[in-house]
Structure 1
Amino acid sequence: MENRMKRLRQIFAFLSGLLIFFMLLGICFAAHDEEKKPVFDVIRINAAITPPVADYILQSLDAAGKAGADGLIILLDTPGGLDLAMRDIVKGILGARIPVIVYVSPSGARAASAGMIITIAAHVAAMAPGTNIGAAHPVGIGIGGGSDKVMMEKVENDAVAYAVSIARQKGRNVEWVEKAVRKSESIPADEARQTRVVDWVAGDLNALLEMMNDQEVQIQGGVKIIKTKGGILRDRKMNLRQKVLTTLSDPNIAYILLLVGLAGLYFEFAHPGVILPGVIGGISLIMSFFALQTLPVNYAGIALILFGLILFIAEIKVISHGLLSLGGVISLFLGSLLLFDSPEPALRVALKVMIPALIITSSFFIFIVSLVIKAQVRKKHTGIDELIDAEGIALTDIHESGKTFIRGEYWDSWSEHPIEKGEKVRVERVEGMKIKVTKK
């Protein structure tokens, strides 16, 4: 009986140990499965393609690779942007060691111009319903002429060759891509899917993950099968520097900062010693120059704006009955139109921003000019009366002639009685550009 009980205890201990073993094994497998869940970094681009945006995308791609992410998802909505910034992004995508998924979303978004090239360069290209892609024709700037036509043809052929080579490498519709560049064709999401411009049309990000599960893509270094089941989405946001640069790279912001900077410095020049307008103007001007380095700036535009400022300053010194001020307004307007040398509307100052800004700035300049001129005229008419009985100091010995310093100004002076240098004097009368003084 005792042996039987001992055997039962042994069997119970064995079964308990076996049960604990399988429980621990299950926990380990569950933890292992949890660790193996695919992770995708997600970034959002809702702006023109500029150097700060390119920097954000490339840094995110590098960080995602180093963090062991299974891919980088770019939620894209852009009107286009700078060619050089776009090419930097495409180089980064083509050389990536993890899949890059470009998803044109949300509904109503677009991947136009540079955005189209970035989309077709992705390992997986997708669009949300109600979005469109295309309109990638390069637009030249100039005033007709044979040389302009030849240059435009060169630019167009270069853009076509670049886009077609990417489309061919990614197995996309080469014929349509060429039309998008040459003829600015643009198509909606469903048609883009049917014509093999993009891989998927998905209502949301979760639907896209399901669609591209087990999709095979060619990345740098070999073929990769994308696994998305149970995928974890990890937002990767812009850092403070990238946010500031992206905000400043808006041409409207850069333009307003430039005008505020010039207005502040002009006010300080017209009224020395106020300080605050000069400080604000200096900071705004530096910020605008910082922003302008990320944008396609036309230096003729900057020169015209600065020339306009010079004309307003000249109006203070030379009374032209408003002609110099009129020239300043015209110069500011022309400079504003020429400031950004880009065919992309997103990289130019919007007229609804430019016109009010010009009216306010020009009115401010003219107002300051009028104040200065009024002060000069008032001083001219009332200065003689105000100078009588004013007190000052003899800068030299005075008899037949000498120098005095009165009310912050240097005067040629004379006196009927000798006055020694350093003595206090009083103005008796003004005779043209000379004053008669007496010892106080």
Structure 2
Amino acid sequence: MQIIKAALVAAIGVVALALGPLGSAAEENGRLALIVTIDGAIGPASASYVKEALTTAAARRAEVVILKMNTPGGLNSSMREIIADVLGSSVPVVGYVAPSGAHAASAGTYILYATHIAAMAPGTNIGAATPVQIGGPLPGLPGGAPEKDGKEKKDEPKDAMTAKVTNDAVAFIRSLAELRNRNADWAEKAVREAATLSANGALQEKVIDLVARDPAELLRQIDGRVVEVAGGKTQRLATKNLVVEAVDPGWISQFLAVITDPNVAFILLMVGIYGLIFEFVSPGAVAPGVVGTICLLIGLYALNLLPINYAGLGLMLVGIALLAVEAFSPTVVVGLGGVVAFVLGALMLLRVEAPGYRLSWSVIAVVAAMFAGFVLVVLGALRRARNSPSRIGAQAMRGLPAEVLDWNETEGHVFTNGERWQARGADAFRPGERVEVANIVDLTLVVRRPDRPTAREVNADD
């Protein structure tokens, strides 16, 4: 063991020596810029990734963190986690919508407003920050921006919940805009009216600080700028000739990225239920129970991270229970009710259909069909198998044909089912005669002639 430890230490030392000059050059006086890339919907995995990256940046004394984004939006809870980490970061965070063709919509707009410096690449856009719970812009809520003539908008909100969600989102993004000295009025417009802007338009409206074609140009442009980091400390950026390094997500973030996909979480939940059903109907199989338990727990953990509707989850479980009842007591009506409850529950499972976080219709249909087929066919076959005559033991032997090998008065030997058996009977038989097994008592067959119904007398010997 000591030899192995010594070898590992030596190997690490060689790697450190090989990378020493680059590492020291990058980290000396914070001469390092880390790039964190969010490409896709914002969710628990993105929040975990950003948190890990900012912790790494602080530990390595990086000069800046470039948060490169191309996102349609995502979950409100994950967005707020990222914003909290950015606001609490001791390392300046530069929000950068790139590459060309990318966008920072919905949650991405809030995050860009929260960064210390906001930048966009040419050919990108920002906006459409209306909360997804609303499903569309709702201009004219009380407390909104006044019209050009100075009068307040007179339109009434559709309902109290819509007003609360909208006003909360407006207050949040305005607070971020005021913190970073950006255009708060346009930010409110992006929430209430789903307004959008191109990169140049955002620069003209003072929504962002600059437009840069690539990270190298971005670092040159922000050199010398003064930003305020966590704790109210000001920091002058020195970003020329920084060593740029991309931060890859850790295994936890990658794991979360997989399981928090609603379709993956849904499938894991179904695999878990299948596995437990197999284990219950075939006790001792072990593997289905182990795999099912693991998948079920992972699926439930993933659903816990997502905004699920517990009524939908309850409907799914009711549907599964009804299909199980249908398998053991066929009524058709119960089975149809189970399928309907399962599908409706799957559709209601996610409370908010944020971009990138909605169940696929095809996945729901396939899983529902497979589950219904499994329950109705497989469990139905198991029920019929349990109700069918026994295939082993005394019950299986009764009625089998046998050939007499030798016989002496009421005892002898017969051949049946590929084996030689000791036998007895009320009649005298000749070798080679065909008889029928009536019963088995203590490994001795009770035989009779096929045309004689002697069940009562042979059962009397039990």
1:302 equivalent to 2:313? Answer yes
Number of residue pairs matched? 372
Alpha carbons 2:269, 2:296 under 8 Å: kept? yes
1:246 equivalent to 2:253? Answer no
- Alignment correspondent of 2:363: 353
Q: TM-score, normalised by structure 2?
A: 0.72
Pick from 329, 335, 345: which aligns with 1:318? 329
> Take 1:277 and 1:37, find their aligned partners in 2: how far apart are those partners?
52
Alpha carbons 1:265, 1:281 under 8 Å: kept? yes
Distance 1:194 1:436, change over 3 A: farther
Question: Which letter does structure 2 place at the counterpart of 1:371?
Answer: A
1:115 equivalent to 2:126? Answer no
Q: Mapping of 1:368-379 within 5 angstroms? A: 368-375=378-385, 378-379=388-389
> Take 1:334 and 1:128, find their aligned partners in 2: how far apart are those partners?
43
Task: State the 1:232 CA deviation.
Answer: 0.7
Mean CA deviation greater in 123-132 or 43-52: 43-52
Task: State the 1:373 CA deviation.
Answer: 4.6
Distance 1:362 1:110, change over 3 A: farther
Q: TM-score, normalised by structure 1?
A: 0.75
Question: Which letter does structure 1 place at the counterpart of 2:335?
Answer: S
Q: Secondary structure at the match of 1:233?
A: strand
Post-superposition Cα deviations, 1:22-66, rounded to whole Å, max 9, x if no partner, equal xxxxxxxxx999945721122122243223322321232122112
Pick from 180, 194, 206: which aligns with 1:170? 180
> Take 1:428 and 1:189, find their aligned partners in 2: how far apart are those partners?
96
Structure 1: which 5+ residue stretches go unaligned? 1-30, 391-421
Alpha carbons 1:315, 1:369 under 8 Å: kept? no
Question: Which letter does structure 1 place at the counterpart of 2:255?
Answer: V
Q: Secondary structure at the match of 1:347?
A: coil
> Take 1:201 and 1:261, find their aligned partners in 2: how far apart are those partners?
49
Distance 1:340 1:424, change over 3 A: same
- Alignment correspondent of 2:272: 261
> Take 2:457 and 2:364, find their aligned partners in 1: how far apart are those partners?
52
1:192 equivalent to 2:202? Answer yes
Question: Which letter does structure 1 place at the counterpart of 2:347?
Answer: L
Post-superposition Cα deviations, 1:278-337, rounded to whole Å, max 9, x if no partner, equal 3322221111012112111111111111111111221232221x3222222111101110
> Take 1:224 and 1:435, find their aligned partners in 2: how far apart are those partners?
104
Post-superposition Cα deviations, 1:389-428, rounded to whole Å, max 9, x if no partner, equal 59xxxxxxxxxxxxxxxxxxxxxxxxxxxxxxx9668799
Structure 2: which 5+ residue stretches go unaligned? 1-23, 136-155, 401-440
Q: Mapping of 1:14-413 within 5 angstroms? A: 35-36=28-29, 38-140=31-133, 149-220=159-230, 221-320=232-331, 322-375=332-385, 378-379=388-389, 386=396, 388=398
Distance 1:194 1:148, change over 3 A: closer
Alpha carbons 2:41, 2:355 under 8 Å: kept? no
Post-superposition Cα deviations, 1:234-293, rounded to whole Å, max 9, x if no partner, equal 222222122112221111111111112122222333444444333322221111012112
> Take 1:79 and 1:294, find their aligned partners in 2: how far apart are those partners?
19
Post-superposition Cα deviations, 1:186-240, rounded to whole Å, max 9, x if no partner, equal 2222222221111222222112112222222222333222221111112222221
Question: Which letter does structure 2 place at the counterpart of 1:186?
Answer: T
Q: Secondary structure at the match of 2:131?
A: coil
> Take 1:159 and 1:134, find their aligned partners in 2: how far apart are those partners?
13
Post-superposition Cα deviations, 1:335-377, rounded to whole Å, max 9, x if no partner, equal 1101111131322212243333333333333331342354356
Q: Secondary structure at the match of 1:345?
A: coil
Q: Secondary structure at the match of 1:126?
A: strand
- Alignment correspondent of 1:7: none
Task: State the 1:166 CA deviation.
Answer: 0.7
> Take 2:447 and 2:459, find their aligned partners in 1: how far apart are those partners?
5
Alpha carbons 1:132, 1:187 under 8 Å: kept? yes
> Take 2:157 and 2:324, find their aligned partners in 1: how far apart are those partners?
40
> Take 1:36 and 1:96, find their aligned partners in 2: how far apart are those partners?
18
> Take 1:388 and 1:32, find their aligned partners in 2: how far apart are those partners?
88
> Take 1:235 and 1:428, find their aligned partners in 2: how far apart are those partners?
84
Post-superposition Cα deviations, 1:138-191, rounded to whole Å, max 9, x if no partner, equal 23379xxx9981111011111101101111221111111101111112222222
| CA RMSD, 1 decimal | 3.4
Q: Secondary structure at the match of 2:126?
A: strand
